[in-house]
Amino acid sequence: MKFSNNMDKSTPPEPSADFFIGNIPVFGDCVLAPMTGFSDPPYRFLCRTFGSSLSYTVFINAMDVLDKWERTLPDMLFLPQERPFLIQLFDNDEDRILAAALKIQQLKPDAIDLNMGCSTRRVSGRGAGAGLLKDPAKIARIVHRLHTSLDIPITAKIRIGWDQDSRNYLDVTRAFEENGGAMIAVHARTREQAYSGQADWETIADIKRNLSIPVIGNGDVRSVEDIQGLKTETGCDGVMIGRAAVGNPWIFQRRRREDISREELSTVLSNHLAAMLTFYGNPKGLELFRKHLVRYLEPENISLHDRRTLLTQSSVSEFILNLAGLGYNLSLEDPEGTAGLSGLPF
């Protein structure tokens, strides 16, 4: 960023966008991946404060949008500070996808993201998620209908194919772009691989060479060094971080987990727990926070007994006391209620 040489003009220029989703600027090149069970509103917002440049919901079933709106709505809530905000949708039925997208558009997200990456059998086995990859022509029809019917951009998250013998990622991504797709995130594994084996970063580079829309790379980003490594090797516009970001929001600041002090960790634990209690209430907020705590404490030297005590504690006050006994001092205004710390608007 360049500043004026005129010392009387103290206001710096606006930073340049890293890339655009349609005409929506995105500032920053690291993105928290949508992960069921982890990328909920409290953790999304926490990661945004650390530098994640986009917010995705977990994947939303189009059938639930149409038939169970009130139950689905909490997963689609977002804060103004989370923009650009994307609601991720999945289904195998073209008409349902469009109907659900039109309904979701009323919530005024910045984009709707089509999930073509979920590898679980219950989703991909019925032709949704990664199951759509088998039919690029169907993808083209869906994206065309969404693009011509909605007022907001369409993005997508894909895998590179169904299995090793059908790595049709260029057919899929070209069909997506040619029918109005605005940005694509690529998990560089097949559906068959799930999360095993090695991500093939060269496929991301191949997609980037063949598309003009932004490409977000995903897969095997485990460290700060991997962020730049993926960008350098593929030329991608941004890097999506999944499992390596759980319990480690500092990765979005390009800081190593081993460099984080106990005091700073305690502050983040306080903020995250308070947000969970405020959003979910007590005891659900504490129950859901435990799986995050496991990942926060992985690098710490804590005995198996102490971990088990923390993960079975049902009282927030006792939970905080147990952490204090291990040297982690949390501060919550109302540890047994649902009033979180100030500055966390949930």
The number of beta carbons lying within 10 Å of the beta carbon of residue 13 is 10
**Would residue 30 show up in a list of annotated catalytic residues for this protein?**
no
Strand segments (E) across 220-322: 238-241
Peptide bond into 84 cis (omega under 30): yes
Inter-helix orientation angle 201-210/169-178, to 10° = 40
SS3 content of the chain, % helix, strand, coil (to 5): 45, 15, 40
Tokens of 35: 């992960």
Tokens of 200: 């093939």
Inter-helix orientation angle 262-280/41-50, to 10° = 140
Torsion on CA atoms 270, 81, 30, 142, rounded to nearest 10: 120
Amino acid identity of 43? Y
Please tell me whether residue 158 adopts helix, strand or coil conformation.
Answer: strand
Q: How far is CA 321 from CA 268, 278, 306, in A?
A: 16, 20, 12
* Given 30, 47, 118, 236, the catalytic residue: 118
Q: How far is CA 150 from CA 21, 140, 147, in A?
A: 15, 15, 6
Rounded distance, CA 346 to CA 343, Å?
9
Residue of 82, 30, 98, 86 whose CA lies nearest to 59:
86
Inter-helix orientation angle 169-178/136-149, to 10° = 20
At residue 159, φ and ψ (nearest 5 deg) are -105, 175
Instruction: Give the residue numbers annotated as catalytic, written as ranges.
Output: 118
